[in-house]
């Protein structure tokens, strides 16, 4: 029942906002709809914690402790981002960058984007998961090109073509998976249901599954932003409106990684070897190292944090690739803290760029004197994302690196060097943006900074103390993934 609500609210929201998106209350309606989704997801979470995994609607939907935590996270960040987008988009409108019709498109697509992500997370059917992932690309293409500037159109085109081609590979992987499953489960709709596949995974044909996993990893990996398939990511993040950057970075990448991890579970079961894990570790490590070295060359603040997202997604992929209870636990914790921290950073960065009228870092100066809350938000957020204790990112990175030291010692120098380079690159830039001489003027609407500090507060809390029920929940999920 809760599942229906979770999916119905954003879908209805998308339709309502398509009709009434030009009204003055559209941003508030957007927030109300996102809040409704969040409440429904909270009820679902409580139910899954008390009753355990369940399927619904003729087994078409499936919830266990792994995807329910992502559903809750997605609904929560979508809600706080909608709160942030309210004043942000009003300021953009006041600056004359957006017309009322563009806002209508934006609000409607925002809800539909949430809808597609939640479908991808909740569905039990791997084919529908593919359809939802493709739909998530489609809903965001026009959001990336919302400003209609040459650069934003180019970014959106690149996003569409690269992710479209990438996800076509994932479709071929899904076809191969169905081909292997059909031999065991028989033809028809049930052969792509994850719960059924999971039950018979040991009998699936290993050669077909290993080929399928390569295609699935390349396909969904393009959406995760794994190197060398990451080209679309910095452009789409830098050129779209900031709330879109926040949800792309904080949520969509997680959902794509979720698809990869679900496939990995099946392939591991069929192969009985560590092939899938090794591939993921390879792609993950490459992304971490590559992103770290690109970080120091960035001039645009949103581009820089987009590369930081590639780095962190690489780290998570690496963690899930290593497998085992500790690394998987750390991977999930990192998913949570990264999406909270990164979206908080994008909120602060969004207002900072509005104040300075540019995204070039050399022209953003002295945030702490003109607007202390934006300045502190950016400074603390950056320290958190760089893995400084006592924030949650430190805890998850520490777990990932200590596990790597035990299991794969040769990877440690690469990881540590990359994290060090990333630290130097981001810290020096942020320092000069936050302190230094002032520039910029007052914003026409008061900025929304509550979400920034709520997110950072949660990340701090997760670094100091993980509540026992949450730790249990992660542990259960880690046991599922293995």
143 binds other proteins (CB under 8 A): no
Segment lying near other proteins (by CB under 8 A), choices 19-27, 85-93, 154-162, 431-439:
154-162
Positions in 406-435 near other proteins (CB under 8 A): none
Least CB distance to other proteins at residue 384 (A): 26
Using DSSP's 3-state secondary structure scheme, residue 7 falls into: helix
Minimum CB separation from other proteins for residue 151, in Å? 6
> Rounded CA gap, 50 and 35, in Å?
23
- DSSP states of 274-309: SHHHHHHHHHHHHHHHHHHHHHTT--BHHHHHHHHH
Is 211 an interacting residue with respect to other proteins (CB under 8 A)?
Answer: yes
How far does Cα 290 stand from its chain's mean position?
Answer: 19
Q: Which of 145, 317, 336, 341 binds other proteins (CB under 8 A)?
A: 145
- Is 207 a binding residue for other proteins by CB under 8 A? The answer is yes
Residue 192 binds other proteins, judged by CB under 8 A: yes
Q: In the complex, what is the shortest distance from the CB of residue 467 to other proteins, in angstroms, rounded to a whole number?
A: 38
Q: How many residues bind other proteins (CB under 8 A)?
A: 48
What angle in degrees, to the nearest 10, is found between the helix axes of 126-144 and 253-271? 160
272-331 residues in contact with other proteins (CB under 8 A) are 294, 297
CB of 191 vs other proteins, minimal distance in Å: 7
User: For residue 163, what are its two tokens?
Assistant: 């992710």
- Nearer to other proteins among residue 133 and residue 456 (C-beta): 133
The yes or no reply on residue 138 touching other proteins (CB under 8 A) is yes
Answer yes or no whether residue 158 interacts with other proteins by CB under 8 A.
yes
Residue range at the interface with other proteins (CB under 8 A); choices 204-212, 245-253, 338-346, 390-398: 204-212
Residue with tokens 């204790």: 389
Distance from chain centroid for Cα 48: 22
- For residue 115 the two structure tokens come to 């809808």
All residues at 6 or more sequence positions from 60 whose CB lies less than 8 Å from its CB, including other chains: 123, 124, 125, 128, 193
The interface region with other proteins, picked from 122-130, 248-256, 269-277, 356-364 by CB under 8 A, is 122-130
Residue 125 Cβ vs other proteins, minimum distance, rounded to whole Å: 7
Quick check: 120 and 257 in contact, CB under 8 A?
Answer: no
Distances (CA, A) of 196 to 178, 266, 357, 385: 12, 11, 53, 39
Q: Is 178 in the site for other proteins (CB under 8 A)?
A: yes
Concatenating the DSSP letter of every residue in 26-63 gives HHHHHHHHHHHHHHHHHHHHHHHHHH--EEETTTTEEE
Range 227-246, binding other proteins (CB under 8 A): 235, 239
Q: According to CB under 8 A, which one of 8, 32, 39, 131 is a site residue for other proteins? A: 131
Taking the least distance from each CB to other proteins, the nearer of 288 and 399 is 288
Which residues pair with residue 300 across a beta bridge? Answer: 360
Indicate whether 217 belongs to the interface with other proteins (CB under 8 A).
no
Residue 456: name the closest of 338, 309, 344, 339 by CA.
344
266 counts as binding other proteins under rule CB under 8 A = no
Q: At what angle do helices 2-20 and 100-122 cross, to 10 degrees?
A: 160
Give the footprint of other proteins on this chain (CB under 8 A): 125, 127-128, 130-131, 134-135, 138, 141-142, 145, 148-151, 153-158, 160-161, 164-165, 168, 171-172, 174-176, 178-179, 182-183, 187-189, 191-192, 205, 207-208, 211, 235, 239, 294, 297
């Amino acid at each position: 029942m809760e599942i229906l609500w979770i999916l119905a609210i954003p879908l209805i929201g998308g339709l309502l906002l398509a009709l009434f998106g030009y009204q003055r209350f559209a941003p508030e309606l957007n927030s109300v709809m996102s809040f409704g989704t969040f409440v429904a997801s909270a009820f679902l979470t409580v139910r899954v914690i008390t009753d355990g995994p369940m399927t619904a609607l003729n087994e078409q939907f499936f919830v266990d402790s792994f995807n329910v935590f992502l559903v809750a996270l997605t609904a929560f960040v979508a809600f706080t981002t909608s709160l942030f987008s309210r004043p942000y988009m009003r300021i953009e409108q006041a600056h004359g960058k957006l017309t009322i019709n563009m806002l209508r498109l934006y609000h409607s697509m925002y809800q539909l984007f949430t809808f597609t992500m939640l479908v991808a997370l909740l569905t039990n059917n791997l084919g529908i998961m593919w359809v939802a992932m493709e739909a998530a690309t489609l809903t965001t293409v026009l959001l990336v090109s919302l400003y209609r500037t040459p650069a934003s159109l180019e970014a959106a085109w690149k996003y569409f073509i690269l992710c479209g081609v990438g996800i076509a590979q994932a479709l071929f992987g899904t076809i191969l998976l169905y081909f292997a499953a059909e031999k065991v489960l028989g033809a028809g709709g049930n052969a792509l249901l994850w719960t059924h596949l999971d039950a018979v995974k040991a009998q699936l044909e290993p050669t077909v599954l290993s080929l399928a996993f390569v295609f699935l990893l390349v396909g969904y990996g393009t959406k995760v932003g794994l190197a060398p398939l990451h080209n679309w990511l910095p452009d789409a993040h830098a050129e779209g409106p900031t709330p879109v950057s926040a949800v792309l970075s904080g949520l969509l990448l997680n959902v794509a990684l979720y698809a990869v991890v679900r496939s990995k579970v099946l392939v591991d079961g069929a192969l009985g070897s560590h092939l899938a894990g090794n591939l993921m570790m390879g792609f993950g490590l490459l992304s971490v190292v590559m992103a770290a070295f690109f970080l120091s060359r960035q001039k645009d603040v949103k581009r820089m944090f987009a590369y930081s997202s590639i780095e962190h997604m690489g780290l998570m992929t690496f963690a899930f690739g290593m497998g085992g209870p500790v690394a998987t636990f750390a991977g999930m914790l990192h998913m949570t803290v990264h999406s909270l921290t990164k979206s908080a950073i994008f909120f602060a960065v969004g207002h900072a760029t509005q104040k300075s009228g540019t995204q070039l870092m050399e022209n953003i100066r002295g945030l702490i004197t003109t607007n202390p809350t934006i300045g502190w938000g950016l400074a603390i957020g950056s320290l958190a994302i760089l893995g400084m204790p006592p924030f949650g990112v430190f805890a998850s990175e520490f777990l990932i690196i200590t596990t790597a030291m035990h299991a794969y010692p040769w990877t440690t120098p690469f990881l540590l060097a990359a994290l060090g380079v990333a630290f130097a690159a981001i810290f020096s830039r942020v320092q000069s943006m936050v302190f230094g001489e002032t520039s910029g003027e007052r914003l026409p609407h008061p900025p929304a900074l509550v979400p920034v500090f709520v997110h950072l507060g949660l990340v701090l809390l997760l670094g100091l103390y993980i509540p026992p029920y949450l730790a249990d929940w992660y542990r259960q999920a880690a046991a599922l993934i293995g």
